[in-house]
Amino acid sequence: MTEPNPTLRLKGIVKTFPGVRALDGVDFDVRPGEVHALMGENGAGKSTLMKILAGVYHPDEGQIFIDDRPVVIRSPIEAKEHGITLIHQELSLAEEMSVAENIFLGELPRKKWGFVDWKTLDERVGTILQKLNADWGPRTRIGSLSIAKQQMCEIARALTHSAKIVVFDEPTASLTDAEKVVLFDVIEDLKAEGVGIVYISHRMEEIFKITDRISVLRDGSYRGTLNTRETDEDEITQMMIGRSLELHRRNIEHAEEGEEVLSVEGLSCGRLFQDVSFTVKAGEIVGFYGLVGAGRTEMAETLFGLRRPTAGKIRLAGEEVHIGSPSEAIEKGISLVPENRKEQGLVLGMNCRDNITLPQIDDLTAGPFVANGAEVAIYDMYRDRLQIKAPTWRTLVGSLSGGNQQKIVIGKWLSMKPRLLIVDEPTRGIDVGSKSEIHKLLRELAHQGYAIIVVSSEMPEVLHVSDRIIAMHNGRITRTFSADAVTEEDLIQAISGLTSDKAA
């Protein structure tokens, strides 16, 4: 079998930061018309490698070849000139500008005198959007689109350049299933045009669906490349973390059900969700599963006092309560690990200890001052219990890996000793190793008698941790399943709104 020469080849890339060898001799290549997955735990060096490709970092050693010619990429602009395009995990769009303006930002077609040629612009963008099956036009304001649609615009931007290499960094993190299908179609089209694609994702099912080869990094070093067709999840996982995990196991434990902690009756919040009723008992994990926009997060935020319900009752241990603000929720023993840890969960510029003790800082005083010892004790306790890997408590949270950041958020809320723990997307953007640790932790917490609500858009996760699963669609509960009676087919039907019969 003759293999085409790779479009992009990295050879022996080494990058060190003070005290860390972030990349230790990484080899990687992408052939034209191939989807090459890059996998590894958070902190394995994927982002560093991508930043080298993008010209943000410069390798200390090693060479980059494009079409067999050695190149040096000094800046993002040079990367673009070499035909390398990155689709970032975090979007970089100008919210107040139109779709068309964003897509051609910096290179808008001009007429004489330098005026923008709006007609040509609209036509060109229109064609691209059509290709992407977009139901919005070139003149739509970016800010008015959903995150998923904004991401499609980011992809559209890549399509306008004659890209040789397109790097997708966790592209499906906020996409719905339907949108994923469109994305995968786009990737197929790019392949057909001979573009080489680097695909970074933690989601195994996607990796197996669309990639041709898989390269794995661990702790900055290159662990090998596998042909997707000849491998399986276990092999990849082992390469990534050096041991095997049982990620797809269902939850088979039966919780020892305790007292009813939370009971919600007919809870509504405007158009966000309506008539939501359920209970959570001590020692039980109730999973909320649904598509983006189904109202799960909004429901969780209402329980935490971030939104005012328009109707319905909330009872804590049988007693009706009104929760007007997060501080009231905290007083009543409710904790929320929010959906977006960087925006909602953490103050990234603060150290680990200060982040963990933030909600209870008022109670940690000696005289008028914060009791340093008590604070450090709390940090140490949760560092050990959750196996947080940080050099010291003085380390800024922003410099930790995603998994450890998430553990800080969980530690922060566990240290409040809540009666009810709500966890929204517990493992979003977290590598497999930390993912399974967090799942295990949630099960342990349930064992210890916590009442837990887990909101997630990942089916394996919901199946893995929940004792009961509540499916939501369009702001309403469509069905409730018990862990031993749930099937994936039923669950998909329930969240797509295909069935409306309520089963117990």
Partner 1 sequence: MAALVGRLGNGDLKGLIARNGIFIAFVVFMIAFGIGVDRFLTFQNLENVVKTTAIIGVIALGVTVVVLSGNLDLSVGSMLSFGTVMVVDLHDKIGPGAGILVMMIAVLALGAVNGLLIGFLRLNSLIVTLGMLSAIQGLTLIYSGGKNVDIDPSTQDTTWFRVFGRGEIAGVDMPIIIFFALAVVIGMIVAYTPYGRRVYAVGGNPTAAVFSGIRRNRVVFSTYLVSAFCVGIASIILGSRVMGSQNTVGQGYELLVLAGVILGGTSLLGGSGSILKTVIGVLILGFIQNGLLLLGYPFFAQWIVTWVVIILAVWLDVAAKRGRLLSPIA
Binding site for partner 1 (CB under 8 A): 18, 56, 75-77, 304, 306, 325-327, 329-330, 336, 338, 343-350, 354, 358-359, 361-362, 364-365, 368-370, 412
Amino acid at 368: P
Cα separation of 344 and 105, whole Å? Answer: 30
Cα separation of 418 and 5, whole Å? Answer: 58
Q: How many residues does the chain have?
A: 504
Q: Which is nearer to partner 1, 126 or 326 (CB)?
A: 326
Question: What minimum distance in Å lies between the beta carbon of 468 and partner 1?
Answer: 26
Question: What minimum distance in Å lies between the beta carbon of 323 and partner 1?
Answer: 11
Neighbouring C-beta atoms of residue 419, cutoff 10 Å: 19
Q: Which is nearer to partner 1, 129 or 409 (CB)?
A: 409
Collapsed DSSP state (helix, strand, coil) of residue 487: coil
Question: What minimum distance in Å lies between the beta carbon of 368 and partner 1?
Answer: 6
Question: What minimum distance in Å lies between the beta carbon of 351 and partner 1?
Answer: 10
Q: Which is nearer to partner 1, 257 or 331 (CB)?
A: 331
Amino acid at 397: V
Q: Which is nearer to partner 1, 311 or 358 (CB)?
A: 358
Q: Which is nearer to partner 1, 74 or 119 (CB)?
A: 74
Q: Which is nearer to partner 1, 325 or 448 (CB)?
A: 325
| Residues contacting residue 350 through CB under 8 Å, at least 6 positions apart | 358, 396, 397
Contact 298, 307 (CB under 8 A): yes
Collapsed DSSP state (helix, strand, coil) of residue 43: coil
Q: Which of 403, 382, 385 is nearest to 393 (CA)?
A: 382
Question: What minimum distance in Å lies between the beta carbon of 459 and partner 1?
Answer: 26
Question: What minimum distance in Å lies between the beta carbon of 383 and partner 1?
Answer: 19
Amino acid at 95: E
Neighbouring C-beta atoms of residue 273, cutoff 10 Å: 25
Q: Which is nearer to partner 1, 67 or 78 (CB)?
A: 78
Question: What minimum distance in Å lies between the beta carbon of 348 and partner 1?
Answer: 7
Contact 52, 79 (CB under 8 A): no
Q: 221: exposed, middle or buried (C-beta count within 10 Å: 0-12, 13-18, 19+)? A: middle
